[in-house]
Amino acid sequence: MKNLTKRVGKLCPCSKKTLLIMRLSIYLILIAVFSSSASVYSQATRLTVKMKNAKLSEVFDAIEQQSEFYFFYNRDYFDDVKYVSVNFENTLIDDVLKELLKDERITYEIYDRNILLSIPKASLIASQKNTLQQQKIVSGKVTDSGGQSLPGVTVVVKGTTQGTVTNADGNYSVTNIPEGATLIFSFVGMRTREIVIGDQTIVNLTMDVDAIGIDEVVAVGYGTQRKVNLTGSVGRIDAKEFETRPITNVTQALQGKVPGLLVNQTGGQPGGEQFKINIRGVSTFSNNDPLIIVDGIAMSLVNLNPQDIESISVLKDAASAAIYGARASGGVILVTTKKGSVGKTKISYDAYYGIQTPTMLPDMVNAYEHVMLYREAEYNGNPETTVYKYTLEEMEAYRKGELPETDRVDYLFNSAGQHSHNLSLSGGSEINQYLLSIGITSQDGTLRNTSSNRYNFRLNNNIRVSERFNINLNVQYAPTRRHQMSEATYPSGPTRGLSDIIYNAAFRRGADDFIFTSDGRWASVTGWANRIGLASEDGGFQERALNRFTGVVTLDYKLLPSLSINGMYGGKFDHTRQVDYSKRMQFINPDDLTTVDFDYNINSLLIYNKDNYQHNAQLLLNYDKTFGENHEVKGLLGFSQEWNTDTWERVGRRNFVTDDIYVINAGSSDPSVWTTASSASEWALRSYFGRLNYSLNNRYLFETTMRYDGSSRFSENNRWGFFPSFSAGWRLSEESFMENIDWVNNFKIRASWGQVGNQNIALYQYYSTVATSAYYFGGVAQTATYYSGTPNASLKWETKTTSNIGFDLGLANSKLNIEFDLFKENTEGILMKPAVPTSYGLGAPYQNVATVENFGWETQISYRNNIKEFSYHVALQISDAQNKVVSMIGSPQISSNRITEIGYEMNEWYGYKAIGIFATQEEVDNYAKLNPKTGIGDLKIEDISNDGKITAADRQRLGSSRPRFPYGISIDLGWRNFDFSAFVQGVAYKKTFIDRPTQPFGGSLETAQKNHLDRWHLAEDGVTWIPGEFPKMRISSFNNRFSSFWLQNAAYLRMKNIQLGYSLPSSLLNKYGIDRFRLYVSGENLFTLTGIYGCDPEAPDSRATFYPLSRIINFGINLSF
């Protein structure tokens, strides 16, 4: 209340007076209310207040925060009058005030929870005069270490919004400096300085370049470390990436920011974004996703508010990740959310509004081009044909625009809006620090009938019960609502999943197929249902709600100055409810407008509920002591127990009386059209772990970790696994022989070795499981039970052994920073299902039957500097990883167009190698052919067996199927109050295969893209062949068999984000009590340079069922006070 009064008073003096009058009015009412009752609360409540060099007003604030007392007084009198030190323990409020005010001409009255402080008028006037006399002007000049003036340096009185900015000559002047004040000098790229103002009126300051990263604190497993002391490989992303970049999903901010971290976005649906994350490549056949820990709880990044993130650490090698043992084979991502800090309440509001459009969509042919190519394909398939689907007259009519056509892509995909609002309050006293945040994000989809809304509520609260005892509470509630078209499938009708809708509705059909009849009803498509109609609200809907609640309670007690014990309980509860309703629809023949070509006359409702409960209890013992001046020892011993329960149920009915009631009982009572299913599962993990750090002279660094895990996924004989690591670092820059090398500020060599595990297989693989099904006997359904799958009690952990060597280098006063790492990984006992003969009768069991090596390198280079008012920072990161199969059962394994074989990389592309297009009949006659009908204009396939035939034996490896050389380049510029940033990201190598619509006319109901117009085709004379990039058109062509011709170069460079911001001058904002007011405009995914056509380069390998990513223009505001 008092802080608010003070701020409003700055904005409008009359408002401040009004608020004080209102406060006193409330006070008088309270007197009337409480005067008839005893002051029970004030006589029973005891206080503990311990503060040093605090203002009286700050002591009052501390009392208010730990009790229900509320003070009424004129704050202006107390702010600058006197500093006191207090030490009250278990003391009544009356005794506290007597001692606190014994030397003041102040009286007080206590009315239960309300305290009125009365100040004699003469004292108030004298105080105001004394305050004015004490206030003074401080001025000076700010320069860099080379003596150059530094314009644009922010100079602020600590604890206030009062301040200024240095001018072009580096000069500044701050008025009304209170006695004992501290000035804070800050500038981008420079180390922030705090100067206590005594009697000086002139303060000149030299600022040093900030040695970025040296003193940075990085989150590691179960703790933090200074980056300078790290011996493992850890990447870090700080809060700036989330605060200044308008993103809807936390994972988007990881892309291209950390060397060795590959993030591929494989779907852009609002509320259903899909990402594939790999740390240092792939080293196993099974799931190798990184373990994600958010404030101590393992969970996905779904539903997290980006504005709540303080930092993200990426643990890449075994030295940093081994302390997470069984689940760390894919690396670990640690997310730390923001917390409150000591100081006045800070209110922040961040918001943006954006317009989205799809990044890349196939450019489909129009109706005339479709008809022309289709007729051409029919002729190429049978030159003797006389019957064509389209007549010449129809083709000409389409050319002239006399027949209607439809742009299906343009109809389905549109621009869409998104907006986000985040409000946070943070601050606190020495006793209690808090952060409360509320966020709302709403996003419409670029695909019709899709949208998402997310709400975030977070409270982080730290309470210092005593000098030794702290309690931390971290609570999050995050409900998300996702809307899309129904995916319920009509019996014997078309499939209608989201991906199926995208391909079949947008890219499969020709532009001659109607969406609507001429009278506005849904048209049938070739006598069948119209998937665009099914995707509309008329076809139904799917509403998916995910409510996530997480809570973490941490108790920390300091047993000794160097020894503390920490207990934590964390829980996560996810409740998912999905309602999927498909409506009745009719699709009308567009020609006669009467015939119902497809009657979707059965409506249905499916309701799905899923609950996930995850628990984590842990106990930590931390030791931290420095012996003498040179020996620093840190130790950690820990125990954790995690357990998880999943349950889900799905129920459904058909034949609802109306399409307006969405409850199960409104459906048919006939059990034969009911759907029921359910499942439940549990798992648990118990762990013992420890870490020991030793630093000698802050120069020689040693660390070892160990973890002993027991997992319920394995039988008792193989349940436990031990995972150790060892690492060392040598800070050469601290050696005496480096003292005279001024241009080297930091040089550290790191080396590590360690082991981590992988338990990521399906549950109950060592049990004999029983499944059920129904069979009918005498027309009555009976339940059948049978064994499903094959148990393997000998299953054990995958174990990955990792070696890493690297260095950190800071040059030129740490303006230039370089990090480089080499790594090698060997994963043994890989869990996979080898092929079994069909006569076996059961599914193949998981076995530990393979070994894979993975090796690579990564680097990050950054440079920052400033030239007078202009500051800049440039950073580049790039990495690569390759794997090789050392051993496996059943080598080689060929699955569709991939091959895995000993001595080679996993899952390489495997198919025919196209060596050109047949150009002459002589060439056709004298070379092996893929098909007897092969002729001029068809693909020419390499005959590697030299037997004159193209068979399966001519397939060969066609290269890696994994993206390689992921990179990111960022540029940050600052000039006066303007800031500019640009970030490009991409991969330098990627081969991808998108079969449809990349391949034209894959069936008789399909079409082609614009680029297919550049094809081999006959000239008007019917004899001469005109060459093109693509083979000649055929329907269901043998040319479409998988070959290198259809592998596309999907390497790309994407302008991931570009942003221009302007912050209003602090000299203006200070007048209104505002700390920051920034406006910005930004672009996300503005352009992409790539060799792929028809799809986004991040699209997964398949046909074009990919929900496109969005190109976004955002307008935003950052406000704090």
Domain ranges for the chain: 2-132, 135-207
Question: Residue 975 has what DSSP assignment?
Answer: E
Contact 772, 784 (CB under 8 A): yes
Give residues with Cβ within 8 angstroms of 357, minimum separation 6: 415, 416, 446, 1110, 1111, 1112
pLDDT value at residue 14: 40
Hey, what are 995's tokens? 């079969």
CATH number assigned to the domain covering 135-207: 2.60.40.1120
pLDDT by 10-residue block (mean), the chain, 1121 residues:
36 40 44 44 80 80 82 60 78 85 78 73 49 66 79 79 77 82 80 84 82 68 88 91 87 93 93 93 89 93 92 92 91 93 90 96 95 96 90 95 93 96 93 95 96 97 93 96 88 73 88 94 90 92 96 96 96 96 93 92 92 97 92 96 96 90 90 88 96 94 96 92 96 91 92 92 84 71 78 90 96 92 96 78 84 97 90 96 94 93 96 97 94 95 93 95 96 93 96 90 92 96 95 94 95 96 88 89 96 89 87 96 88
Contact 326, 723 (CB under 8 A): yes
The DSSP element (H or E) to which 379 belongs, if any, is helix 367-381
Query: Distance between the two ends of the chain, CA-based, in angstroms?
Result: 15
pLDDT value at residue 76: 53
Q: Is 161 helix (H, G, I), strand (E, B) or coil?
A: coil
Q: How many CB atoms lie within 10 A of CB 441?
A: 25
pLDDT value at residue 1070: 79
Hey, what are 853's tokens? 């090596």
Q: Is 734 helix (H, G, I), strand (E, B) or coil?
A: helix
Contact 928, 941 (CB under 8 A): yes
Distances (CA, A) of 39 to 43, 64, 113, 118: 6, 17, 8, 19
Residue 865: what residue type? N
CA gap 813, 801 in Å, rounded: 37
Q: Is 394 helix (H, G, I), strand (E, B) or coil?
A: helix
CA gap 138, 199 in Å, rounded: 10
Tokens 């550290």, located at residue: 748
Q: Quote the strand ranges of 1064-1109, DSSP E.
A: 1076-1084, 1088-1090
Residue 828: what residue type? E
Q: How many CB atoms lie within 10 A of CB 789?
A: 19
794: region left, alpha or beta (phi > 0 left; psi from -120 to 50 alpha)? alpha
- Domain 2-132 adopts which CATH fold? Phage tail protein beta-alpha-beta fold (3.55.50)
- Widest distance between CA atoms in the chain: 115
β-partners of residue 569 are 553, 617
CA gap 953, 221 in Å, rounded: 51
User: Taking the model in full, what pTM does it have?
Assistant: 0.82
pLDDT value at residue 352: 97
The DSSP element (H or E) to which 78 belongs, if any, is helix 75-78
